[in-house]
């Protein structure tokens, strides 16, 4: 195996040697092509990742982002073209070669060994030894304490915690420490959808770290579907479509609409399918509902109507959805479906009454990741598929295939494990489950979180189709353009209460935000008056 060649000719100003630990030469790819049989995943991509800059890598699922990263990390070999370091061609025959060349990736799902400590996870594969084989715990402790202090993680990461005890944010920090420790300094670090499981506070800490790394001259590759993050972090934005590089934009001179056009070949506005199909038939009627998290909630949703539910983090939107679905207790007030009271605290009864919920965290709350598409789709209709005590497998396969085809789930077969699907296709499986149940009311909590714009357009079409069939839809979303494009009405929450309601014609991002921050504005005014 050929090791990556290193460019050692780079010097600092006036011929000075670069500071120790400074990345030596930018990383890039030239005319990079990758084929898997007859399928071309990348086609002649030439792209540089400059030192000291954040390059966002965007594109739909299947655009070639993952393939490009896997070539950079030595997991795949290019069919044609080259990886370049400091302008020189290198052969990265394995992940070990890539690491030796200073290339690191922080995967979307951190690979943590569950029953060993943080310290052992960080240095896995390079643990200090004594007497040839025994773990040198004193040296391990010295190293981890030094690196925690150097990276600024000492207050947030306990080196003795086991992998099973880590929060999603801490798991991410362990991956980052792996990337930033070792004898070879990092030249380029790629973050693949790093904020998908982080809180707002944790996201801010991650962004601060990325800016520090950029300031140290490391090239950052940032893969995300979240436009707001891209514009906050990126210096430049590279867009892939169908395996081809279709544009590189300076973040300061482009906008969301232009990026969407590059990614999918059409305007953002054309993704929404609006048609007036709401009727006067009241389906979901909530009156003065109060739980531990929400107070005095009253709202109505009619057949064929899409009602958007807006609010900032902590407004109580998801908690309201879980209460309506029977997962959280209701202290007072009523919720009726077609005039019949929903049974509080009984999810099975709520489902039988005709209400379905696609929750915010599809992996943790909705899907059985190790099971197949067929098993996940049939989960809420097993009562209809049974003969005596046995599930009719032929009927189950027919039902799963019907909705897999209808929603265009991209999969080799209905027996494919759900964990192997993209985020967009996983979300379609959740929707397939509820379409099979034929609900009267469907609550969708962040239905397009973490999926690409092409899959978003397909989800929007599904929502429009359900409304046309007379389903009453309550859509919770933190993306205001999404609510404005989908909803007939927008109900806004803040602090567990409804602060206002806007008709589609009156709703704007500014008017929604004003209602979402209503209590904050009052509090600020009150505090200002007394100061």
**287 - beta bridge partners?**
334
Share of the chain above pLDDT 70, in %: 90
The pLDDT, as a whole number, for residue 7 is 36
The pLDDT, as a whole number, for residue 288 is 96
pLDDT band at 21 (very low <50, low <70, confident <90, very high): very low
Give domain status of residue 220, yes or no. yes
180 and 239 assigned to the same domain: yes
pLDDT of residue 334 exceeding 50, the answer is yes
443's enclosing H/E stretch is strand 441-445
The pLDDT, as a whole number, for residue 414 is 93
Output the six-digit token pair for 98. Answer: 């890539």
Least confident of 129-138, 440-449, 521-530: 521-530
Q: What is the pLDDT of residues 61-116, one digit of tens each?
A: 678 898 999 999 999 999 999 999 988 999 999 998 998 899 998 887 778 999 99
488 and 463 assigned to the same domain: yes
pLDDT of residue 216 exceeding 80, the answer is yes
218 and 337 assigned to the same domain: no
Residue whose structure tokens are 């890039």: 28
Domain stop point among 216, 236, 264: 264
Mean pLDDT of 285-308: 96
pLDDT band at 312 (very low <50, low <70, confident <90, very high): confident
223 and 341 assigned to the same domain: no
Whether the CB-CB separation of 237 and 55 falls below 8 Å is answered with yes
The pLDDT, as a whole number, for residue 175 is 87
Mean pLDDT of 299-324: 93
47 and 87 assigned to the same domain: yes
46 and 101 assigned to the same domain: yes
Torsion of CA 523, 524, 529, 531, to 10 degrees: 110
Q: How many CA atoms lie within 13 A of 324 on its CB side?
A: 33
pLDDT of residue 182 exceeding 50, the answer is yes
**Rounded (5°) CA angle 64-228-244:** 20
pLDDT band at 363 (very low <50, low <70, confident <90, very high): confident
Give domain status of residue 450, yes or no. yes
Give domain status of residue 307, yes or no. yes
Mean pLDDT of 490-494: 95
Gyration radius (Cα) of the chain, Å: 26
What is the span of the domain harbouring residue 326? 281-366+439-527
pLDDT of residue 526 exceeding 70, the answer is no
Q: Which residues neighbour 437 within 8 Å (Cβ) at sequence distance 6 or greater?
A: 351, 356, 380, 381
pLDDT of residue 518 exceeding 90, the answer is no
Q: How far apart are CA 389 and CA 503, in angstroms?
A: 49
The pLDDT, as a whole number, for residue 530 is 35
**What is the tally of structural domains in the chain?**
2
pLDDT of residue 242 exceeding 70, the answer is yes
172 and 254 assigned to the same domain: yes
Give domain status of residue 314, yes or no. yes
Q: What is the pLDDT of residues 384-442, one digit of tens each?
A: 888 878 888 888 899 999 989 988 888 889 999 998 888 888 989 999 999 899 999 99
Please name which of 97, 48, 51 lies closest in space to residue 76, comparing C-alpha atoms.
Answer: 97
290 and 193 assigned to the same domain: no
pLDDT of residue 214 exceeding 50, the answer is yes
Give domain status of residue 389, yes or no. no
Q: What is the pLDDT of residues 338-357, one digit of tens each?
A: 999 999 889 999 999 999 99
pLDDT band at 452 (very low <50, low <70, confident <90, very high): confident
251 and 286 assigned to the same domain: no
pLDDT band at 149 (very low <50, low <70, confident <90, very high): confident
pLDDT of residue 185 exceeding 50, the answer is yes
Q: Which residue has the higher pLDDT, 17 or 185?
A: 185
Residue by residue, DSSP assigns 275-307 as -----S-EEEEEEEEE-SS--SEEEEEETT-EE
Q: How far apart are CA 239 and CA 263, in angstroms?
A: 6
The pLDDT, as a whole number, for residue 267 is 62
Domain stop point among 198, 231, 264: 264
10 Å CB burial of residue 177 (0-12, 13-18, 19+) is buried
Whether the CB-CB separation of 345 and 329 falls below 8 Å is answered with yes
450 and 302 assigned to the same domain: yes
The pLDDT, as a whole number, for residue 268 is 58
pTM: 0.62
10 Å CB burial of residue 430 (0-12, 13-18, 19+) is buried
Give domain status of residue 422, yes or no. no
Measured from the Cβ of residue 214, the count of other Cβ atoms closer than 10 Å reads 18
pLDDT of residue 219 exceeding 80, the answer is yes
Average pLDDT, the chain: 85
243 and 345 assigned to the same domain: no
Give domain status of residue 399, yes or no. no
CATH classification at residue 336 = 3.40.50.300
130's enclosing H/E stretch is strand 129-130
């Amino acid at each position: 195996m050929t090791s990556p060649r290193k460019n050692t000719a780079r010097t600092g100003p006036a011929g000075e040697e670069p500071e120790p630990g400074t990345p030596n030469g930018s990383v890039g790819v030239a005319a990079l092509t990758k084929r898997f049989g007859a399928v071309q995943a990348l086609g002649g991509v030439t792209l540089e990742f400059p030192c000291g800059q954040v390059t966002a890598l965007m594109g739909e699922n299947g655009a070639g982002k993952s393939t490009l990263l896997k070539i950079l990390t030595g997991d795949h070999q290019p069919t044609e073209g080259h990886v370049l370091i400091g302008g020189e061609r290198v052969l990265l025959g394995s992940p070990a070669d890539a690491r030796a060349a200073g290339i690191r990736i922080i995967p979307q799902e951190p690979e943590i060994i569950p029953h060993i400590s943080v310290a052992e996870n960080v240095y896995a594969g390079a643990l200090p030894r004594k007497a040839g084989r025994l773990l040198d715990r004193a040296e391990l402790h010295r190293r981890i304490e030094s690196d925690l202090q150097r990276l600024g993680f000492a207050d947030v990461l306990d080196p003795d915690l086991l992998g099973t005890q880590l929060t999603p944010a801490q798991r991410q920090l362990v991956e980052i420490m792996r990337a930033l420790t070792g004898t070879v300094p990092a030249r380029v670090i790629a973050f693949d959808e790093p904020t998908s499981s982080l809180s707002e506070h944790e996201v801010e800490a991650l962004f601060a770290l990325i800016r520090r790394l950029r300031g140290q001259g490391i090239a950052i590759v940032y893969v995300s579907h979240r436009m707001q993050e891209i514009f906050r972090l990126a210096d430049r934005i590279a867009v892939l479509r169908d395996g081809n590089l279709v544009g590189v934009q300076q973040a300061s001179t482009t906008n969301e609409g232009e990026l969407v056009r590059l990614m999918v070949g059409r305007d953002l506005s054309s993704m929404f399918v609006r048609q007036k199909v709401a009727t006067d038939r009241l389906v979901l009627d909530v009156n003065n509902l109060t739980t531990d998290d929400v107070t005095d909630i009253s709202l109505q949703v009619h057949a064929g109507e899409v009602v958007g539910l807006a609010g900032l983090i902590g407004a109580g939107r998801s908690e309201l959805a879980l209460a309506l679905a029977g997962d959280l207790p209701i202290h007072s007030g009523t919720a009726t479906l077609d005039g019949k009271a929903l049974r509080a605290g009984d999810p099975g009864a709520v489902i039988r009454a005709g209400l379905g919920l696609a929750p915010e965290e599809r992996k943790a709350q909705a899907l059985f990741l190790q099971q197949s598409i067929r098993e996940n789709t049939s989960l809420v209709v097993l009562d209809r598929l049974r003969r005596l005590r046995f599930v009719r497998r032929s009927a189950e396969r027919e039902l799963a295939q019907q909705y897999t085809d209808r929603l265009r789930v991209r999969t080799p077969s209905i027996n494919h494990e759900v964990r192997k699907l993209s985020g967009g296709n996983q979300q379609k499986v959740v929707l397939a489950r509820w379409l099979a149940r034929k609900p009267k009311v469907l609550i969708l909590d962040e239905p397009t979180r973490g999926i690409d714009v092409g899959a978003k357009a397909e989800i929007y079409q599904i929502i429009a189709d359900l409304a046309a069939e007379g389903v009453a839809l309550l859509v919770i979303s933190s993306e205001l353009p999404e609510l404005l494009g989908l909803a007939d009405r927008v109900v806004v929450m803040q602090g567990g209460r409804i602060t206002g309601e806007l008709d589609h014609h009156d709703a704007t991002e500014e008017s929604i935000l004003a209602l979402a921050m209503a209590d904050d504005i009052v509090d600020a005014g009150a505090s200002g008056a007394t100061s």
